[in-house]
């Protein structure tokens, strides 16, 4: 496994592999890796003959400076974990390497980036699109692998690829959970033991909601989810919505068309956690 820090070294390594007709799989990450990330790398290894992982905490997608500063970083630990996977090349650039000049591009994703995460984290998805498009241009992968935990982000990336006509296949990968059901997240490491125990209520409530959906209206179920989570003093729901999976429009009835995804963001102390389930 090779580690590079510059775009020039990255492109040189990938050019060498493509000359050997290797298919390039790419997993973009912000580090603080966990089993969820490693599952993406393994899926990339199954589908492609050369796997690239990027590790870069992108400042452009943080609308909260404190959140950016608090985001966990441990490159040595990340590299040790990646050595157990099919990862061939790690790209870990500095901010100045990724953004030699400021990126002033503004993307228009219509409805997709003004609801849920977009509503509560203004500018977040524009920053995601900036960095992912740059990474795609640098790596030029055949396939890129994204976790379904960030369901709305996946919709944004798919739309960005269409808008920019990028020749990359986006591969969605299942949510990986802790044994107690909590969706794996780099932010989980920021929870103290009491908060960590409380956080399990998020997934427990979502799983219970999947059963209650047979008997409750959409609005009644949404209210039940929020009330059930917020009864825990460590937790405060920021939003919970049930949307169709194509345009992320809120559904009003279980008979509405499309696959239905329940998306949630919850503050556990100062840590913000997201999750989703399919109804």
Question: Residues 170-213: pLDDT tens digits?
Answer: 999 999 999 999 999 999 999 999 999 999 999 999 999 999 99
Assess whether 161 and 195 both reside in one domain: no
Final residue in a domain of this structure, among 173, 207, 235: 173
- Given a cut of 90, is residue 64 above it in pLDDT? no
Question: What are the backbone angles phi and psi of residue 214, rounded to the nearest 5°?
Answer: -70, -20
Q: What is the mean pLDDT of residues 102-131?
A: 95
What confidence tens digit (pLDDT) does each residue in 145-170 have? 999 999 999 999 999 999 999 999 99
Q: Is residue 107 part of a domain?
A: yes
Assess whether 24 and 145 both reside in one domain: yes
Assess whether 165 and 94 both reside in one domain: yes
Q: Is residue 206 part of a domain?
A: yes
Domain region containing 194: 186-274
Query: Can 37 be counted among the known catalytic residues?
Result: yes
Q: What is the mean pLDDT of residues 112-139?
A: 96
| Number of structural domains the chain divides into | 2
Assess whether 30 and 156 both reside in one domain: yes
Q: What is the mean pLDDT of residues 118-126?
A: 94
Final residue in a domain of this structure, among 133, 148, 173: 173
Assess whether 42 and 165 both reside in one domain: yes
Q: Considering 5, 37, 111, 215, which one is annotated as catalytic? A: 37
Assess whether 94 and 216 both reside in one domain: no
- Given a cut of 90, is residue 58 above it in pLDDT? yes
Res 106: pLDDT: 97
- Given a cut of 90, is residue 66 above it in pLDDT? no
- Given a cut of 90, is residue 67 above it in pLDDT? no
Res 65: pLDDT: 83
For residue 214, what pLDDT band results from cuts at 50, 70 and 90?
very high
- Given a cut of 90, is residue 112 above it in pLDDT? yes
- Given a cut of 90, is residue 72 above it in pLDDT? no
- Given a cut of 90, is residue 26 above it in pLDDT? yes
Q: What percent of the chain stands above pLDDT 90?
A: 96
For 37-47, b/e burial (b = at least 16 CB within 10 A) is bbbbbbbbbee
Residue 13 is part of a domain; what is its CATH number? Answer: 3.40.50.620
Q: What is the mean pLDDT of residues 219-246?
A: 98
């Amino acid at each position: 496994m090779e580690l590079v820090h510059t775009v020039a070294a990255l492109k040189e390594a990938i050019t060498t592999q493509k000359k050997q007709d290797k298919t390039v799989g790419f997993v973009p990450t912000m580090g603080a890796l966990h089993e969820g990330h490693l599952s993406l790398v393994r899926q990339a290894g199954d589908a492609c003959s050369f796997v690239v992982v990027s590790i870069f905490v992108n400042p452009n997608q943080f609308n909260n400076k404190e959140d950016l500063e608090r985001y966990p970083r441990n490159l040595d630990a990340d590299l040790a974990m990646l050595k157990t996977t099919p990862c061939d090349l790690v790209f870990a650039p500095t901010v100045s390497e990724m953004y030699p000049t400021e990126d002033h591009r503004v993307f228009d994703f219509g409805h997709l980036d003004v609801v849920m995460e977009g509503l509560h984290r203004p500018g977040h998805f524009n920053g995601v699109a900036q960095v992912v498009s740059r990474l795609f241009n640098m790596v030029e992968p055949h396939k890129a692998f994204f976790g379904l935990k960030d369901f709305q982000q996946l919709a944004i990336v798919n739309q960005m690829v269409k808008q920019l006509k990028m020749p990359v296949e986006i591969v969605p990968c299942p949510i990986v959970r802790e044994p107690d059901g909590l969706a794996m997240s780099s932010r989980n490491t920021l929870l103290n033991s009491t908060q960590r125990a409380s956080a399990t209520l998020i997934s427990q409530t979502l799983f219970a909601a999947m059963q209650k959906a047979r008997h409750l209206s959409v609005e009644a179920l949404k209210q039940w989810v929020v009330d059930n989570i917020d009864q825990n003093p460590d937790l405060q729901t920021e939003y919970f919505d049930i949307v169709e999976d194509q345009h992320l429009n809120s559904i009003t009835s279980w008979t509405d068309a499309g696959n239905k995804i329940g998306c949630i963001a919850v503050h556990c102390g100062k840590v913000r956690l997201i999750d989703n389930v399919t109804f």
